A and B are shown apart, each in its own frame.
Chain A
């Protein structure tokens, strides 16, 4: 178990942000659920707490909206099929809008919060 101090440094994901992160990950190429989870964890240096389980409802939701597609494929280095997700053109467009919205949000919040005064 992680201790409390460690989890204090972790941030709960905001609603909808997970979708954006997943799509951003898939820009790099098709990936299966576990890879996506690991990638998000790695790139955020474990700051963002992505409960692996919450990934799947999000993936299926994205699939239903037509932003990603899924297919069972066998990776080269394995003898087993995994369910690979890839971004559709519609998904790319969606990601672009989400990203610009996100930038606006971050910038606005940043202006309100002002420069961080160091202790």
Chain B
């Protein structure tokens, strides 16, 4: 308040002061002239002065009117209003708190979701001139998209031949184990080409960054840390530079630290350690990623040369494509494969926002959430509008008095709107706080145990602009109608203080009813959406996966990092399996290369004598390499034939166990046991026959959403050297987490350097549903919130109506109406509001939930049961919300009312 006064005192700036003096003088002149005239007419000078003043009128009022005419009165009025409103709001702390809190929730939720949208889709990379960055992608259909990866030979060709970028660079993300044996401690790694930092114009926070000289074949093992990693692990110590860091058990020299705020090129991830691409040779040995022509692990981008448009860049890359692809053609591919490979072309795409898989994954869910929180805010606004209407009714006499004293309606509306602006500003400020907290919480919620999502959620101009805009919108939504309505007062009746203002009541109550009906409609839409998403998630979560996900601990072990030679790998895994099976609480144990629903997969084209007609996708089968214990551990029942055994060795006949889907498709109507299939090798030629010895039940392989696809299991012993990393599955009788340290000790007994990764199968399945789960939970939360708000609105409207009609109810009861009939009267109102809202809500739902179609599993967007359920829930809660005011209506004392009238 004091501050406001001070601001006000500064306001009469020089120009205004001169004008004031001017006006003063003008009015004085007038009085002098008039007095002069009166004196001439014969009055005494004293009397003449008074006469002149009388003729002029109220000087203060005149000055006020003149100031109004000057036009900068508005600012003064505004400050007056602000002061007045602040006083009013302080006098009604309950009302103020409810409104501000409701708004803060609504605005906060919107800002939080928008913060995520901003972070995932709109934010530019924190580098100089991000708009110059262009990414190289494949043209055409099958390999396109921002997920497109390149081989190192392709990258080298692009680097050496391209002429559209001032400098091109490449990078690839990876995970490095910082621990040397035992439980893994994974760090987010990024492979970078020599020009990566340089092209992004980044300066080291300490030491130096990787430069072109560091990225040469046969390079030494150097690493650059991210600022966050440096701070967290080294406390920003300068001694970190030059120290040694173990990555997958290889020593790397730390040469520098990347600048603060640089998280890498991929939105949603942040890197901890950057190493030059050439260092892949240190990890891979002779046959590795650097020369691997089928090893897709890099992405390519560059700063486009000035004056070159995207279309020109694409045309140029297109023209260069044949030479680039010819020079990096995988020699071991089939003729068909090679022809396909050569068909590819390169195009350029903007990369200013960075690249993100989150973009694709969360675009639709984020849009849905944005719509959901938008609706919640609308409902909240409706509630506040209702509150404002009720409050306006309470202030009717005050407003009438002010109008009677000469305040114009415009002036009053303006003052009431100023109040709204104050409320929504407070709501927005608090909302931003909520949003910062909520957005961080959301990110943590959508992060899974294995993929921590990192987003830059700092406030930027876009977020603040968004919040300001919705705050202004809410202000209009909840403020305008009540302000207009409450100033339309019949002075006479208001001043007389009559309780039932027959002339006004119906209108105001009708407005209130409309507000509540629209709240009911909107909350029904949200309930339907929440119902659909929840049921869809429930279906996914309780789906029969074919295997039993509970009480299974997955232990990932990597023998390559532990430098176990290939010929010792199978024996080592078998030894680990034997040791772990002896641990207390382990019921069953198995090993596999792929674990179900891990998102990873291995597929091959297969053929049998009965599958000639199958081509392309239809001829694909998933594969896995498992130990005999796998099926028992996952409780995947063997339906026919036999399990793998120790008889299936490297030298014995190649065997496989297939699932029902494979049997159905590749051995139609036959008993597959004893039949053979062949895997097409990379050249398209059929490989040696593999005999089917068993059939297992269908189970999900890659994701919960898919149908159970054909899957073939090969014995781990017969695919030697193919995988250095396997996962051990342990079915436990006790909670799996208790076993971890025992397992670490047991594995260390075999080889101390083996890195181990632990998680449970149930977690893995849950993590694969993180998007569905978060969407379902959030929409349920907001649906519940909407329901609550709508019911508070309904309750408020009915209470108001009951108060307004107190006299009527009193008279009715005095004339002998039963309590029941009064309740029926009130409930009739509920029914009318509810029916209107529900009809509208059902129509909107039917039209709007179609956007959910793609997100739903196992039910359509127009699911009648969900709709009916939502209507039933809403009606039930509405009946409860209506009961209390109805009961109150019956407690009107007829005598009191009659006396009052």
Contacts and interface: CB of A to CB of B under 8 A. Distances in A.
A64 interface: yes
9 nearest A-B pairs in the assembled complex, by CB-CB distance: A53-B57, A57-B65, A60-B69, A61-B69, A53-B62, A34-B33, A52-B56, A60-B66, A51-B57
Given A53-B56, A56-B23, A64 B69 contact: yes
B68 interface: yes
Given A34-B34, A53-B62, A82 B71 contact: no
B650 interface: no
B58 interface: yes
A83 B62 contact: no
A33 interface: yes
Contacts of A34: 29-30, 33-34
A25 B787 CA distance: 67
A82 B26 CA distance: 7
Given A56-B23, A61-B69, A64-B71, A32 B62 contact: no
7 contacts: A33-B30, A54-B57, A54-B62, A57-B66, A60-B23, A60-B70, A61-B69
Contacts, number: 54
Contacts of B66: 56-57, 60
A36 B240 CA distance: 88
Contacts of B326: none
Interface string B1-38: 00000000000000000000011011101100110010
B58 A83 contact: no
A80 B26 CA distance: 12
A83 B26 CA distance: 7
Contacts of B30: 33-34, 37, 52, 56
Chain A, interface size category, equals 10 to 19
A53 B59 contact: yes
A52 B26 CA distance: 12
B55 interface: yes
Interface in B41-71: 55-59, 61-62, 65-66, 68-71
A61 B27 CA distance: 16
B741 to A, nearest CB: 84
Interface of A: 32-34, 37-38, 51-54, 56-58, 60-61, 64, 80, 82-83
Contacts of B23: 56, 60
Interface residues of B, number: 23
B70 A56 contact: no
Contacts of B29: 32-34, 80, 82-83
A60 B30 CA distance: 15
Given A51-B57, A61-B69, A56 B22 contact: no
Nearest to B29: A82
A82 B28 CA distance: 10
A43 B631 CA distance: 113
Interface in B710-740: none
A34 B25 CA distance: 13
Contacts of A53: 56-59, 61-62
B49 to A, nearest CB: 14
Contacts of B25: 83
A64 B69 CA distance: 7
Nearest to B27: A56
Interface in B457-498: none
A16 to B, nearest CB: 14
A7 B683 CA distance: 113
A90 B403 CA distance: 36
A83 B33 CA distance: 13
B621 to A, nearest CB: 85
A70 B37 CA distance: 24
Given A34-B29, A57-B66, A57-B69, A83 B56 contact: no
Contacts of B33: 34
Nearest to A53: B57
A60 B73 CA distance: 13
Given A52-B30, A57-B69, A64-B69, A83 B22 contact: yes
A83 B66 CA distance: 15
B69 to A, nearest CB: 4
A64 B70 contact: yes
B69 A52 contact: no
Given A34-B33, A53-B61, A57-B65, 7 more contacts: A52-B30, A56-B23, A56-B65, A57-B66, A60-B70, A61-B69, A83-B22
A70 to B, nearest CB: 9
A53 to B, nearest CB: 3
A52 to B, nearest CB: 5
B30 to A, nearest CB: 5
Given A34-B34, A83-B22, A83-B26, A57 B68 contact: yes
A52 B61 CA distance: 12
Contacts of A57: 62, 65-66, 68-69
A104 B637 CA distance: 99
Contacts of B68: 57
B21 to A, nearest CB: 12
Nearest to B59: A53
Interface string B805-836: 00000000000000000000000000000000
Contacts of A37: 30
Contacts of A32: 29
A58 B56 CA distance: 14
Nearest to A52: B56
A99 to B, nearest CB: 22
B65 A52 contact: no
Contacts of B37: 38
Contacts of B56: 51-53
